[in-house]
Amino acid sequence: MKKSAIVDIISCLFIILFLYTGVYKLLDLHHFFWALNKSPLLGGFYKPVGYALPPIEVIIALLLLIPFFSNKPMLRTWGLYGSAVLMLIFTVYITYMVEFRTDRPCTCGGIISQMNWHQHMYFNTTFTCLSFLGIWLNKHLIQKRENDMAIS
């Protein structure tokens, strides 16, 4: 499979994930804030996190979506880096909760909230790895494009 197709697939997976979770949190903001407030790590910061996280997820999804419709490769790069940072934070948070806490309020919505904490940790770890794979492949695609342009 071509590198560009793999990066497209990874981007689509993150678009679906972040649009779904971001919009779901916005639609059920009351529950999202309640769960954040109950979090042993985020309780004191639940309002800033609650107001910032859903828009950040939607913005990252848009950064990954726009390059499908216009020639803006840097937006995809930013979107992939944003995905990696967000997934790394989520994965570290969930791993901490699994390893050290028994009080675990879930701030996720919809289908993802149906996973247990271990399944969620594996899911996030997989997506974190996908984000780094996407960054790596995208970097190689950009370098190839630059080399092709320099040759012609």
Query: How much of the chain exceeds pLDDT 70, in percent?
Result: 95
Contact between 43 and 115 (Cβ < 8 Å): no
Query: Over the stretch 104-114, which tens digit does the pLDDT of each residue have?
Result: 666 666 677 78
Closest to 97 in 3D by CA, of 127, 125, 117: 117
Query: What is the reported pLDDT for 127?
Result: 97
Question: Residue 143, class by beta-carbon neighbours within 10 Å (0-12 exposed, 13-18 middle, 19+ buried)?
Answer: exposed
pTM to 2 decimal places? 0.90
> How far from chain centre, in Å, is Cα 14?
6
* Mean pLDDT of the region 41-51: 88
